[in-house]
Amino acid sequence: MRPIIGITGNFLEDENLIGVRKYYLDAVFNAGGLGIILPPVADEVVVNNYINICHGFIFSGGGDLNPFYWGEEALPAVRRINPLRDRFEMMLAVRLLGGNKPVLGICRGCQVLNVAAGGSLIQDISTSLSHEQNAPCYYPFHDIFIEKGSILHRILGAEKIRVNSFHHQAVDKPGANIKITARAADGIAEALESQDHPFVIGVQWHPECMEDKYSFYLFRSLVSSCLKYSC
């Protein structure tokens, strides 16, 4: 049986629309899993139902997380805050960090995992290296450097890979038991993992859009880690 991977849905309030890009569903399916979209809710009972139904989780990309969640006021550069999605994903992330089901955070999702663990974000990156590429999403844009011995290093089998980049925020202070495991050349955090959970990984890029072997390895590892919960 294919493990069920719950993917947090983006909520476009003005259009009353919930969904994710098909890239996510395809990446999970091609790795042997079955992706389902989790509509954002503010109901703890439903959140617990999601956790019971799914064997693993992906926190998808999207708009900015409200800086309220790490005790700051929003700067003018902060954009596309969605209160319902923020509340839902924070509830879900806190519960998953305290459990043992596999979790992958992508872009915004990486940031959500860090904040849920008590960490903070850089609200607007100001470095010499661009992190918002003006190129197709499948196009590798800059290098990242992966810490040897990390879970990510074990999965990818490489200390340097080239990734796409579509973010203006990034992890600042790591949360409790969160370790930064990859950085860009300018020092910006590009990946994290939990030190007290068997599989909680966050990546700042969008592997679901890319066509390289490393992206496949990441999703394959997520799905493989979920198999023990799908029997």
Question: pLDDT 10s per residue in the chain (231 long)?
Answer: 899 999 999 988 878 889 999 999 999 999 999 999 999 999 999 999 999 999 999 999 999 999 999 999 988 888 888 999 999 999 999 999 999 999 999 999 999 999 999 999 999 887 544 555 455 555 566 899 999 999 999 999 999 999 988 768 899 999 999 999 999 988 999 999 999 999 999 999 999 998 899 999 999 999 999 997 654
The answer to whether the Cα torsion of 130, 120, 102, 225 is positive or negative is positive
For the chain, which residues make up each domain, given as ranges?
A: 4-229
Q: What is the model's pLDDT at position 141?
A: 66
Longest pairwise C-alpha distance within the chain: 49
Does residue 80 sit in helix, strand or coil? coil
Residue 131 designated active-site: no
What is the rounded distance in angstroms from the CA atom of residue 24 to the CA atom of residue 20?
A: 7
Nearest CA to 180 out of 160, 166, 197, 194 is that of: 194
Q: What is the model's pLDDT at position 231?
A: 47
For residue range 87-138, list pLDDT tens digits in order.
Answer: 999 999 999 999 999 999 999 999 999 999 999 999 988 754 455 545 555 5
Instruction: List the structure tokens of 64.
Output: 């900015």
Catalytic residue among 55, 131, 206, 209: 206
Catalytic residue among 89, 167, 208, 226: 208
Residue 142 designated active-site: no
Residue 15 designated active-site: no
What single letter denotes the amino acid at residue 83? P
Q: What is the model's pLDDT at position 54?
A: 97
Q: What is the model's pLDDT at position 199?
A: 97
Could you tell me which CATH class the domain 4-229 is placed in? alpha beta
Catalytic residue among 107, 110, 209, 226: 107
Nearest CA to 168 out of 77, 43, 36 is that of: 77
Q: What is the model's pLDDT at position 16?
A: 85
Looking at the whole model, is its pTM more than 0.85?
A: yes
Nearest CA to 57 out of 80, 89, 82, 87 is that of: 89
